[in-house]
Amino acid sequence: MNSKYQPLFEGYKLPSGVELKNRLLMAPMTHSSSNKDGSVSTQELSYYRERSAGVGAVITACAYVQPSGKGFKNAFGADEDQLVPGLSELAMTIQDQGAKAILQIFHAGRMAIPDLLPDRQPISASAVASEREGAVTPREMTEDEIEETIIAFGEATRRAIEAGYDGVEIHGANTYLIQQFFSPHSNRRTDKWGGSVEKRMSFPLAVIDEVKKAVKEYAENPFIVGYRLSPEERENPGITMDDTLQLVDVLAKQGLDYVHVSMRDFFDGSMRDQDDEESRVVLVKERVGDRVPVIGVGDILTPDAAMKAFETGVPLLALGHALIMEPQWVQKVKDGREDEIRTTLSKTAQTELVLPDPLWISITRTPGWFPVVD
């Protein structure tokens, strides 16, 4: 291995006591390749098996915690006990390759797909549609529904523990339900769940408490609890960086193992102010990095890009597209074969790269998403 990449391969102990073998994780990425009943598919297992050997941990694609929270066709669920065997098989598949297995849990809220819902009606903090073409206006959740959803996150955590996962990541990012409660755009409530920035934190914090409660009750070994967030929204009113810095100050007091900052590019500045070019990931690290570990992600495709990100002081890095295009990314860096890392996708590479059919179709039919070449 080239010695300049050695820091990426140093071990890291999370606050819970779980030890990662290196600083690199597989980022959570939707692949829409589960079975129709929400169970883990054979193609899904093969996809993760191929990508788990090098990284310190794999954060899975998001698993919905309630039937009302389905955000993707052929997503997998953590909402029923009958799904535990398949979840367990996925956890073991990841762990057998030497990585920790982290199940990302979520509810899509107003971003749920109506055709996938029992009553075809998305729900959210308030009856406000997202600012996207074809968006459906959600129904405002009742107090009972809010409490039921909080409990569902705890139940999903219990199932993750029973299935043998090393942890869960609470998905509070990418415009889904937890973020919707924090956002002044989607949360116009005047009860205890909305209003001031502090009140808009109430639902995320209640979810964290319920997850931690499940961990305390069911986990016999150290268990990771992470939280993913998106630092800003384009909408007005929308989440600002000031809002997020207030949120992470509170998150840093929750005993979490990490805060995962969801970005398209690690070094991207503000989406609300083009003159503000400071990395949102770095801003979060500077605010709370001495109190809670931070995971950075976004367009880290080469080892040099990883080192540039790592040198900001962010201790953990998640690889997304890089591991789609090059499942052996980490091993090739470790073996000094970084010049062999693929940075494009050949139209004939699906089988070699062990990519599930639905994901491959999406990649090849979505111009500009991946660098697909002949």
Enzyme catalytic residues: 176
DSSP collapsed to 3 states, the chain: CCHHHHHHHCCEECCCCCEECCCEEECCCCCCCCCCCCCCCHHHHHHHHHHCCCCCEEEEEEEECCHHHCCCCCCEECCCHHHHHHHHHHHHHHHHCCCEEEEEEECCHHHCCHHHCCCCCCEECCCCCCCCCCCCCCEECCHHHHHHHHHHHHHHHHHHHHCCCCEEEEEECCCCHHHHHHCCCCCCCCCCCCCCHHHHCHHHHHHHHHHHHHHHHHCCCCCEEEEEECCCCCCCCCCCHHHHHHHHHHHCCCCCCEEEECCCCCCCCCCCCCCCCCCHHHHHHHHHCCCCCEEEECCCCCHHHHHHHHCCCCCEEEECHHHHHCCCHHHHHHCCCHHHCCCCEECCCHHHHCCCHHHHHHHHHCCCCCCEEC
Q: Residue 135: how many CA atoms within 13 Å on its side-chain side?
A: 17
CA distance 200 to 78: 26
Rg of the chain taking only CA atoms, in angstroms: 19
